[in-house]
Amino acid sequence: MHTLELLPDEPTENAVRDVWAALSRAGLPSLAAHRHPTNRPHLTLATADVLPPDVRERLAEALAVLPVPLRLDGLVRFTGGRTRVLAWAVSPDEALLRLHATVWRILREAPGDERSRPLHDPARWVPHVSLGRGTGCPAASAAEPILMAAGTATGVLEGRWTGARTYDSESRTTAPLCR
């Protein structure tokens, strides 16, 4: 499976990594503990079973609109499944919503990708940047002081989505999707 991910600008990436470190110092689950070289803050737009060259080309064309505004605002906690996830909510603007819908359409039209992924459907998508995963993830309200202590006094962070990549869960490798 391939994920299609947007990557933040460097100041935003550093701020998210600061929150990861603060969660870790507080003894809470944090993506700072995930040491794989591909681990970095990102926003998952969609997933696909296969990404043939023509689909990658169409995605690169769609992603030529980057950079687009980025706004992280508030915390969200996902509790379904075996693992809880604490994340920074992404407040999508019209440009991000259009980009997401375009990526979704390109993948749905691609041959060989029959499996539905309802979590990334534009009608259900909850855009977020993951901060921590595990059974010990705190409620969003309990983690807000950590977010504030990590240098985001308001809990809001603005930046830009500047790049895109794919992550191949089988090979555990990434590849850029736009220049």
Distance between CA atoms of 21 and 15, rounded to whole angstroms? 10
- C-beta neighbour count of 5 within 10 angstroms: 22
Residues 6+ apart with CB under 8 A from 54: none
What the chain holds in terms of domains, given with CATH numbers, is 2-176 (3.90.1140.10)
Distance between CA atoms of 1 and 140, rounded to whole angstroms? 29
Q: What does pLDDT average to in each consecutive run of 10 residues of the chain (179 residues)?
A: 93 93 86 81 91 92 96 86 85 96 90 64 89 78 71 78 90 80
- pLDDT score, position 83: 78
- pLDDT score, position 65: 96
Q: Shortest CA distance to 40 belongs to which of 71, 68, 16?
A: 16
- pLDDT score, position 171: 84
Exposure letters 12-51 (e unless 16+ CB within 10 A, then b): bbebbbbbbebbbeeebbbbbeeeeeeebbbbbbbbbeeb
